[in-house]
Amino acid sequence: MKKAAVLGIGLIGGSLALCLKERTRLEVHGFDASKESLTLAKAAGVIHEGHMRLESAVEDADVIFLAVPVGSTPRLLNRLATLPLKRGCIITDVGSTKGEIVRYAEGLDNLRGIFIGGHPMAGSHRSGVQAAQSLLFENAYYVLTPLPETPLPEVQRLSRLLERATRARLVIMNPEHHDRVVGAISHLPHIVAASLVNQVADYNASNEWFHRLAAGGFRDLTRVAASHPVMWRDILLSNRESVLALLEDWTREMEGIRRAVKDGDAQAIEAFFHKAKESREALPEGRKGVLPPVYECTVDVPDTPGEIARVAHLLGEKGINLRNIGVMENREDRAGVLRLVFDKEEELKKAVFCLKETGYRVFDPDVD
């Protein structure tokens, strides 16, 4: 049997491992610095075999996925470059930044032509193998950033494998272009979300009403501020150039709205929100990326067994076709959040109506 090695069995590595196990014939071997993650992954059936030694994890592997924080990726690439890898083996990664990693691999003689950068544009603010799921990447974009000298058949081989395993939409991009685009739609928004949360936390330190009144809008807007600090530290340091340019534009944008408010310039303020509303409404439809697909809603459910089945059953009874159902997060107040995805807008509308009628709290990003 052919073998895949997944290095770093956390949210993304664990989800990829599940995809490979469920939808390919590859034997999936995991490697992680944390013994606990490997034990959990093995017990939960995420991997066939776990390894604490890199050598045994990658020995004879046909494909190797690096799924560690981007700051640890170069060191791991260095180690891989010294190991006797199987002839024809492809190495790829899932890091949120591409320029630095791809250039680093390019500088390692033994990896030239066999490393292809990758980035699945789906994930969550959660981390660890406990949060892994095989539906995570479905319909999301998955970017590959091969260098011009990478042999095309290798790119096609990896692309076909990923398409089958993850059910994502594979696209090819230049690494620097990727970093600028993803910087704008993911890295900058994470900084903004974290800064809003920090600002309010400072106010709240002397007046608890700030947190008590923080409701829907603030929570939705800042969900990603709960993401893994080490992962995000590494991302900003790795995509430094794009992030700095984006922060300058952001500061200019904030200065513009500050001035409009200071001057009482009603027209400028309205124009600011008008442009945002039009752009938000014109975002491409129906694709899961860092932004949610259009035909999707989330439902708050009690954190009790059988709740997913109850929601699915309720919709089934009404003849509503559900494409995908997944658990998004568990909140501190013990409510869980289910994410429901539909193929058609009418199905989403019918589902929202029926769930609300039954007493569920439903959030439809296009209406609420």
Ligand X SMILES: O=C(O)C(=O)Cc1ccc(O)cc1
Q: Which two tokens stand for residue 49?
A: 């075999």
Among ligand X, ligand NAI, none, residue 30 binds (CB under 5-8 Å by kind): none
Among ligand NAI, ligand X, none, residue 37 binds (CB under 5-8 Å by kind): ligand NAI
Looking at the Cβ atoms of 81 and 221, the one nearer to ligand X is 221
**191 is an interface residue for ligand NAI by CB under 6 A:** no
CB of 235 to ligand X, least distance (A): 7
Dist CA 123 CA 325 (whole Å): 15
Looking at the Cβ atoms of 32 and 347, the one nearer to ligand NAI is 32
Span near ligand NAI by CB under 6 A; candidates 5-13, 150-158, 169-177, 317-325: 5-13
Dist CA 271 CA 281 (whole Å): 15
Convert residues 209-248 into a mask of x (bound to ligand NAI by CB under 6 A) and - (unbound). Answer: -------------------x--x---x-------------
Cβ count within 10 A of residue 221: 14
**101 is an interface residue for ligand NAI by CB under 6 A:** no
Q: Which two tokens stand for residue 112?
A: 């030239």
Looking at the Cβ atoms of 66 and 114, the one nearer to ligand X is 66
User: How does DSSP assign 248-303, residue by residue?
Assistant: HHHHHHHHHHHHHHHTT-HHHHHHHHHHHHHHHHTSPSS-BSSSPPSSEEEEEEES
Among ligand NAI, ligand X, none, residue 72 binds (CB under 5-8 Å by kind): ligand NAI
**68 is an interface residue for ligand NAI by CB under 6 A:** yes
**50 is an interface residue for ligand NAI by CB under 6 A:** no
In this structure, is the dihedral angle defined by the CA atoms of residues 311, 349, 189 and 213, taken in order, positive or negative?
negative
CB of 260 to ligand NAI, least distance (A): 35
Dist CA 332 CA 345 (whole Å): 32
Dist CA 361 CA 189 (whole Å): 26
* 3, β-bridge pairs: 27
Say whether 203 sits in a helix, a strand or coil: helix
Q: Which residues bind ligand X (CB under 6 A)?
A: 96, 121-125, 186, 224, 290
240-262 and 175-182 helices cross at what angle (nearest 10)? 30
Q: Which residues bind ligand NAI (CB under 6 A)?
A: 7-13, 32-34, 37, 67-70, 72, 76, 94-96, 119-120, 123-124, 127-128, 228, 231, 235
